[in-house]
Structure 1
Amino acid sequence: MLYVKIHELRKRKFKVAQIAKELKISRPTVYKYLEMTFDEARAYTEQPLGKKKKLDHYKDWILAWLEEYPHLSSAQIHDWLLERYPDLSVGGSTVRTYVRNIREVYQIEKKVIVRQYEAVPEQPMGKQLQVDWGETKQKSTDKKEIKLYFIAFVLAHSRHKYMEWQARPFTTRDAIRCHENAFQFYGGRTNEIVYDQDHLIAVSENAGQLLLTEEFQNYVNERQFKVHLCRRADPESKGMIENVVKYIKGNFADSRVFRDIEDWNDRALQWLQRTGNHQVHQTTKKRPAEVFLLEKQHLQPVSSLLSYESTNKQSITRTVSKDNTIRYKSNRYSVPLGTYQTMTENIVWIEVTNEDQQTLVIRKEASGEIITEHIISSEKGKLIQNRHHTRDRSKGIEELKQRLISYFEDQTRAALYFDEISQRYPRYRRDQFAIIYKVIQQYPSLIDTVLAKCTTEKIYNANDFRDIAHHLDNLRDEPVKEVQSFYANPAKHPPIKASTRSLNAYTSILGGRG
């Protein structure tokens, strides 16, 4: 499979570095497979691993990934396989055994860093949420290294996780916004939230007397949860969230290429659903997503709008993405085209009505005119789009068609001709019209003759229109007037054989082009 994919990309003129990036393998591996014959590649990847196994079909991928990234865990390999093959059904233990066998046969060692943890008492449902921050360095699509920052949440009982990323360091307001998004993701909050002594939320602990930052203290007063600060690197207090941060860095973020922050957050949520909250937890031996269905019933409900923000005359804000959407409650809601602008903050203000059917109101300014409204969806991962926010793609095509028609003397015939092309090639109308427009520019004196010929012969294709025009241009040594008169009134010149050629004759002259 890998051999075929490499050679396929090579035939498409991909460079070695581009092939390596696309397939997540090293350039030496690409060179190695390019120099092999198919039989040599098959012999290399079919070195005996014992009896035939379920993952043998994916062996060349796994081998290439391990050669490029020897530190990869079997859990990461499992996630990468599911990302490339969503329909693959295989257990974590099967992947672990298979990866271990490949490491033994091909002598690919893994450097293991062991950290000591103490056992943490099991927490009741709905009691505790643990929060921590992290940062990573990622390779971007333009081959640069950038730093990304994330905040991670985990419910202490079910181990159900949530994370959010951004391309700049977090502020206290960012932390509050992410807390709100996490509460919406979980459908409620816990009684207690555990933090490190981070400067975003705490000034000092003062021997047990907590001193929080003013902004975060106001937020805690509004949401009314208990704050527990712990010492740094204290596994007894926040070992779960430290493991989650390590898991995110080592599984999701490791060796993944960054495109843009919206795409990165989308892939993070997909990873949570596919791997982070789906795989069986090694301590509880249960799937976090399944246990969460029970724990969710013990969470405290939260309102959609913070009165704290309202009393401080500050609306909840959202950032407009490049695709002219904003995020709210794990869904995307459209805003009018052109709302997103380069070189600006792209901030909009949102408000949620308290009617039976909640409505999301979006404004460009905090107290400005409403730019759009949406009924809030109870689902997750959906795009809620107002049809008026989509581009009218037919408008430009219609204008192009009318402009083309204006070039012809018999505009009624031209209109019928272009309508027929539109019906035959609805998905390629613009391409068809563009070809004819080039013909009009190149052979302006012949277009009416070509149109007459095409409608008479029922030839409704821009490529044929172009080829006939080109052929007539090559016959310039014949009187153009005579040729034109024939096509304009064929009954006056029936004896002229050259003027009665069939479509097959034109095709033969043009070397078989159709």
Structure 2
Amino acid sequence: MDKWEMYMEIHQLIKKGFSKTKVAEKLGISRSTVHRYLKKNPSDMSKWVDSIQTRTKKLDPYKELILSWLREHPDMSAAQVEDWLKERYEDLEVGESTVRSYVRELREEYKIRKETSSRIYEAIPDSPMGEQIQVDFGHTKQKAADSKEVKLNFIAFVLSNSRYKYTEWLDRPFTTQDVIKAHENAFKWYGGIPGELVYDQDSLIVVSENGGDLILTQEFQQYKESRNLNLRVCRKADPESKGKIENVVGFIKHNFAKHRVFHNIDSWNEQGWEWLNRTGNYKIHHTTKKRPVEVFSLERQHLRPVTKNIDIKYNYENSISRCVHKDNTIRYLSNRYSLPLGTFGKYETVCIKETEERELIIYSPETGEIIAKHNIPDGKGLLIKDRKHSRDRTKGIDAFMNTVAEHFNDSEMAYDYLQVVKGKYPRYMRDQLQMIVKETKINNKEILSTALKECIKRNLYGATDFSNVVAYLKRHRQMEDTTNDTAKNVTQVKGVSAWVMETEAQKREVDAYTAILEGDPV
């Protein structure tokens, strides 16, 4: 319904005796809109409609971009549109209501209906400043850059009074040590520790609950004691006691993560922290009507200072240790699982965990870094190998050749030379390159490039020949420095360059090497 139709409909309903409230309910508009339309006579209404049609709106330059988002993601909220705009255009200053109104008009104009899902929220009384942080976990499925789907897990924290938030993501399941590390990072983010931390009954923290007596995992119990934390774990099916963090988890999922493309976990976390500063902690909270960042500046003063640093080591109490064999594999349940080349020698043992999805995760026992992941098969006596763990020998040699070629003034000429050497010594190319690398480390580019040109000119393709030519050039230059006058009198015989005439054979019979160097007259 356009504005003129709305105007006429409002006046007709009022004439029929409907109250302004009933007119608003019947037409699905606000009472203020009804009041505004009733104040206008037809002449004023006509002028107003004409001004709207010709008026340029602040978001018009971004219209096509916003339309593309809405068409691709019909369930996208106006709040997320606002966040994406500010992420791409840092200097853009626009109000929340402006974006909401513009998105609504685009949906009406282009018939883009918003997909919605109902959710129940519970009002929770605010805790005193610095009293409580609520903690919970969540997960999302994101589209990766290669169009594959990736499951991501996150832990979220929120200060109950200010609503100031922190989140951290992993592209694998959380371990108890990951949770402890996230707590340490959160306390650094907040600049202190609250009086109480509220959790759900997560198996990474709580082993069991016996009539209200909590039994924590061994690792988390030690951490609780070292930090002197006061913990409270919610009963099952008791969302009222942690309603704030429930809302935060939904906010992270639907405002930050939804429709965002995943590239790698490091950049994803960086984007998440930027989102917190830009939107998550800056946007006015609908309940408190304040910006969390502004209230947090006061609440921060009520937190207990972090007085000491804790050295977090990944001991994985529930993990199984396995020895790394010299063929870069481990044994588990009568099967062998590959590790990246070079793991043997770097680690004597690794830790492994089997997930509910029957995936074997192999960790570093010291840092918790994931070394490899494998799906666990049904059979026995199998070698489960990841192709990425095998050396791509061709790619390795090519990369090695590129590196060596960069040591010459004309890297393309050097690479072409090495290609011929590779064809001549395919099985020994790595050895050939290592011999040439030794020369590049002790000689400058000028000598190397001169030697390269002479080798190509004389058809000398091989590391030994190249080294011999480099050695001659160095000797020759030393002779020039000490006996410069004598060097000037050296003459050319039959058009062959002087250095060829003075070449002393090395590692060859004298006659054979001299014949190679002299060749035919030029």
Q: 1:266 to 1:216 in 2, by over 3 A?
A: same
For 1:67 and 1:405, how far apart are their aligned partners in 2?
52
Indicate if the aligned counterparts of 1:49 and 1:105 stay in contact, CA closer than 8 A.
Answer: no
**Which of 397, 408, 430 is the equivalent residue of 1:400?**
408
Q: CA deviation at 1:112?
A: 2.0
Q: 1:50 to 1:239 in 2, by over 3 A?
A: farther
Taking structure 2 as the reference length, what is the TM-score of the superposition?
0.52
For 1:158 and 1:168, how far apart are their aligned partners in 2?
30
**Which of 297, 301, 306 is the equivalent residue of 2:301?**
297
Q: 1:198 to 1:107 in 2, by over 3 A?
A: same
Q: CA deviation at 1:286?
A: 1.1
Q: CA deviation at 1:143?
A: 1.4
Q: CA deviation at 1:234?
A: 3.1
Indicate if the aligned counterparts of 1:197 and 1:231 stay in contact, CA closer than 8 A.
Answer: yes
Q: 1:93 to 1:296 in 2, by over 3 A?
A: same
Q: 1:396 to 1:233 in 2, by over 3 A?
A: farther
Indicate if the aligned counterparts of 1:117 and 1:235 stay in contact, CA closer than 8 A.
Answer: no
Counterpart of 1:158 in structure 2 is: 162
Residue correspondence of structure 1 range 7-406 to structure 2 within 5 A: 51-232=55-236, 234-306=238-310, 399-401=407-409
For 1:172 and 1:226, how far apart are their aligned partners in 2?
18
Unpaired runs of 5+ residues, structure 1, are 1-47, 315-340, 348-363, 368-394, 407-432, 446-514
For 1:404 and 1:198, how far apart are their aligned partners in 2?
59
Q: CA deviation at 1:204?
A: 2.2
Indicate if the aligned counterparts of 2:315 and 2:365 stay in contact, CA closer than 8 A.
Answer: no
**SS in structure 2 opposite 1:153?**
strand
User: Letter of the aligned partner of 1:213 in structure 2?
Assistant: T
For 1:65 and 1:171, how far apart are their aligned partners in 2?
36
Identical pairs, percent: 53
Q: 1:181 to 1:64 in 2, by over 3 A?
A: same
For 1:272 and 1:342, how far apart are their aligned partners in 2?
39
Taking structure 1 as the reference length, what is the TM-score of the superposition?
0.53
Indicate if the aligned counterparts of 1:190 and 1:300 stay in contact, CA closer than 8 A.
Answer: yes
Q: 1:289 to 1:142 in 2, by over 3 A?
A: same
Q: 1:398 to 1:250 in 2, by over 3 A?
A: closer
Q: 1:402 to 1:301 in 2, by over 3 A?
A: same
**SS in structure 2 opposite 1:203?**
strand
Counterpart of 1:485 in structure 2 is: none
Indicate if the aligned counterparts of 1:172 and 1:215 stay in contact, CA closer than 8 A.
Answer: yes
Q: CA deviation at 1:400?
A: 2.7
Q: CA deviation at 1:99?
A: 0.7
CA deviations on 1:411-445 (whole Å, 9 max, x unpaired) are xxxxxxxxxxxxxxxxxxxxxx9xx99x9699969
For 1:365 and 1:171, how far apart are their aligned partners in 2?
13
**Structure number with larger C-alpha Rg:** 2
CA deviations on 1:329-356 (whole Å, 9 max, x unpaired) are xxxxxxxxxxxx9876999xxxxxxxxx
Q: CA deviation at 1:185?
A: 1.0
Q: 1:280 to 1:444 in 2, by over 3 A?
A: farther
Q: 1:313 to 1:302 in 2, by over 3 A?
A: farther
Indicate if the aligned counterparts of 1:49 and 1:101 stay in contact, CA closer than 8 A.
Answer: no
CA deviations on 1:282-326 (whole Å, 9 max, x unpaired) are 11111111111111111111134227x69x999xxxxxxxxxxxx
Indicate if the aligned counterparts of 2:405 and 2:412 stay in contact, CA closer than 8 A.
Answer: no
**SS in structure 2 opposite 1:200?**
coil
Q: 1:214 to 1:82 in 2, by over 3 A?
A: same
Q: 1:444 to 1:283 in 2, by over 3 A?
A: farther
Q: CA deviation at 1:52?
A: 2.3
For 2:124 and 2:413, how far apart are their aligned partners in 1?
77
Indicate if the aligned counterparts of 2:199 and 2:232 stay in contact, CA closer than 8 A.
Answer: yes
Unpaired runs of 5+ residues, structure 2, are 1-51, 317-339, 348-363, 368-402, 415-445, 459-522
For 2:269 and 2:175, how far apart are their aligned partners in 1?
18
Q: 1:200 to 1:56 in 2, by over 3 A?
A: same
Q: CA deviation at 1:366?
A: 7.1
